[in-house]
A and B are shown apart, each in its own frame.
Chain A
Amino acid sequence: MLYLPQYYLFNRNKKYKTNTIMRKNALFLFVLFVGFTAFAQKTIPNLTLKNLQGKSVSLTELSKDKTLVFSFWATWCGPCVNELDAIAEQYEDLQDEKGFELIAVSVDDSRTKARVKPLVNGKDWDYQVLLDTNQEFKRKMNISTVPFVMIVKNGKIVYSHSGYTPGSEEELVEKFVEFKK
């Protein structure tokens, strides 16, 4: 049952109002924020994730000297599955004709992780799948919602898009072709 334990009664109503310290903090954060964004670079983090065969894959090595699409998805996310389904239908042609390659990064946690492999096979997807079980990759990329796609060229993120609407896979392919040049 969900209830409010007594413990919380002690901490309730202790709301601190804005004071000078807060304002200072806010100013400090703002300066920090501006400072950071001034020289922000978009690169792929140096992380190692497991694939469906249990083998470790380094993101840096994977994206070295090529253009790739990373698609963040989860088995429970309807739009994500719709997007990957839509791309899967034409994936073979896209690979051959346009050199299109997609890495499907599953952010399923241990609740649904077991479902990733049968789903990928059951749907006959040909993507390389990586498992981001405790969402380290997702967190590093500051992604708050899935689906989220990004095009990575030589380790640099050149395009990203959040959300999926039917047909937006075509735009992704167009962008891919544009950046691959």
Chain B
Amino acid sequence: MKFNQILPLLIVFISFSSIFAQDTGKVNVGFESNSQYYVDDAVTGDFTEEDNFRSNNYLKADYTINKFTFGLQAEGFAPQAILNYSPNLDKDVAVATYFANYKSKKIDATLGYFYEQFGSGLILRSWEDRQLGINNALRGAKISYYPTNKLKITALYGKHRVGFKVSEGEIFGFDTNYDASSENNTLQFGLSYVGRYHNTKDVYLADALTDKRFENLTNAFSGRINYAKNNIYANIEGIWKSKDAVVELGTVYSDKLFYGNALLLEMGYSKKGIGFTTTMRRIENMNFYSDRQTQGNTFNEQIVNFVPALTRQQDYSLANIYVYQAQPKLSFNPLVKAGEIGLQWDLYYKLKKGTKLGGKYGTKIALNFSNWYGLDSDYNRDFKRMHTKFFAFGERYFTDITLEVRKKLNKKNKMIFSYINSYYNKTYVEETHGIIKSNILAVEWSHKFENKKSLRAEAQHLWTKEDKKNWMAATTEFNFNSHISMFVGDMYNYGNDDTDKRSHYYNVGGSYAKNKTRIALSYGRQRGGLLCVGGVCRVVSPATGFSMSINTAF
């Protein structure tokens, strides 16, 4: 019997035996199922792969007794995982993660799979996002110790989860946080270390190379300070990563070694009725994967650190066609890139009630601006040499201005107006070609009827002279009560130069929610492209079909 079969059994044994004990403990169970039935379609094409019906299922159970928690997550991908999920998710039903945790006032220790984040995550983050197919939990051990309530020390060791196996690379982590805050201000310090050990003999090198000059162990160090007083706050974080080989399209160049680094600065001012924040970041060669060869993989597997795009996360469908992704990598082919530099501003403001612009209920305004460039550098492409400048803006990658105005008209009606202007450098962001400048206008209206019924309708339009040209979209949602909801929506690429490609991407569906259970059904066309959540993206293929999702918890 293997180790990973023993632990679940141990958990079962302990949990069942405890039924007879006096303290029966607490249990949390959650279940999620997402299924698709793909059909042939004139626009998205025939479904030519095996298994029209596909399903991703997750069952998670935690059991807490006294200071101990035992948990496991079983996953099933039967008969196969939904399109565009990793081929490593290849089992019908199996235990995917499990853990045993002990937690007291001074100690928090975990054996098995765990999640963790150091600082902002730029040096280490392991987390789960089922929609994106991300689960980079570490399998190993983690211990946090609190000598005083001002100090926290964490040490960890683990291997990243890859499907139902673990990575060949190993991760060592050490993190310390000290809180020197007083009554009326916040002052916190943090220091972290992350080591990635990946044996060079497991690496397929570029053809001409036999000499492995890089180290098995790559070291990264980071430091951070958080400060807040009265209405202002400022956070700074810096990271340095030791020399590591350049990886291009899965090929490791063992003789081309570069350092990596990152600097993140956040400042803000806020008080009642107004909030302003600015975020600046410079990242250079910050791709960091457990297994070097998986760098930049589509499935976001084996990611050590979290480098999100620092732009506004848009919620309208047309505003999610040209989505920026952070550019941490250093490469010479197919394009020369060294990293990214830029900033983001956010302003939230409430126009007071009773004023001319505020009206009876007040008007809420949100303004966002983000601007990102490639790092400028001197380089020699043939010899793969690069010298970056600290503060120099290269190619412009992305600019985005969003203005949102929320207005309550009366007790029954609310409106939201949004305007987005964006510049998207597809050549660099997606490594294909084109620069897309676009304008989007979206209007949303919600209306409350008697008897808890409500209606929400949105209309959007995207103007652009590039790529697939203009789009329009509309969605209507009718809520019978807080439990039952129906929607119908369409995105129409009416401006496409190729009249055959002037497609409708319609969707119709409904959902039922009660207590912790939610069931949603829909039928429609999915536009191929990037699906992004939290600054991380997954490629989705164009497809048509039925979707069903069930979430429940006990």
Contacts and interface: CB of A to CB of B under 8 A. Distances in A.
B315, B361, B414, B554, most chain A CB atoms within 10 A = B554
Nearest to B298: A2
Contacts of A133: 117
A162 B551 CA distance: 10
B348 A3 contact: no
A55 B364 CA distance: 28
Nearest to A172: B482
Given A33-B59, A119-B275, A122-B347, A40 B233 contact: no
Interface in B397-429: 406, 408, 414
Interface string B332-374: 0010000000000011111000000000011010100000000
Contacts of A139: 115, 128
Nearest to A44: B26
Interface in A12-70: 12-18, 22, 25-26, 28-29, 32-33, 35-37, 39-43, 45-46, 53-56
B497 interface: no
Interface in A76-98: 76-78, 82, 85, 89
Interface stretch (B28-36, B375-383, B386-394, B464-472): B28-36
B26 A43 contact: yes
Nearest to A111: B308
A149 to B, nearest CB: 10
B271 to A, nearest CB: 6
B32 A144 contact: yes
B294 interface: yes
Contacts of B130: 144
B127 A134 contact: yes
Interface in B98-124: 103, 115-117, 120-122
B87 A8 contact: yes
Contacts of B452: 167-168, 170-171
Contacts of B295: 5
Contact of A118 (B90, B270, B454): B270
Interface residues of A, number: 81
A134 B266 contact: no
Interface of A: 1-8, 11-18, 22, 25-26, 28-29, 32-33, 35-37, 39-43, 45-46, 53-56, 75-78, 82, 85, 89, 109-115, 117-124, 133-136, 139-145, 159-163, 165-168, 170-171
Interface of B: 8, 12, 15-16, 19, 24, 26-30, 32, 59-64, 72, 74, 76, 78, 80, 87-88, 90-95, 103, 115-117, 120-122, 125, 127-128, 130, 149, 179, 181, 186, 188, 204, 226, 228, 233, 235, 249-251, 266, 268-277, 279, 291, 293-299, 306, 308-310, 312-313, 315, 334, 346-350, 361-362, 364, 366, 406, 408, 414, 430-432, 446-448, 452-456, 479, 481-482, 485, 511, 513-518, 530, 534-535, 537, 539, 551, 553-554
Contact of B226 (A11, A54, A163, A170): A54
Contacts of B432: 1
Given A6-B204, A53-B186, A166-B454, A16 B92 contact: yes
B454 A142 contact: no
Contacts of A120: 270, 275
A35 B12 contact: yes
A114 B186 contact: no
Given A26-B93, A40-B27, A76-B534, 17 more contacts: A6-B204, A7-B293, A13-B87, A17-B92, A29-B59, A32-B12, A41-B26, A54-B186, A54-B228, A109-B534, A117-B233, A141-B553, A145-B551, A162-B517, A165-B454, A165-B456, A167-B482
Contacts of B29: 33, 36-37, 40, 142
B448 A111 contact: no
Contact of B513 (A36, A45, A162, A167): A162
Contacts of A2: 296, 298, 430, 530, 537, 539
Contacts of A167: 448, 452-454, 479, 482
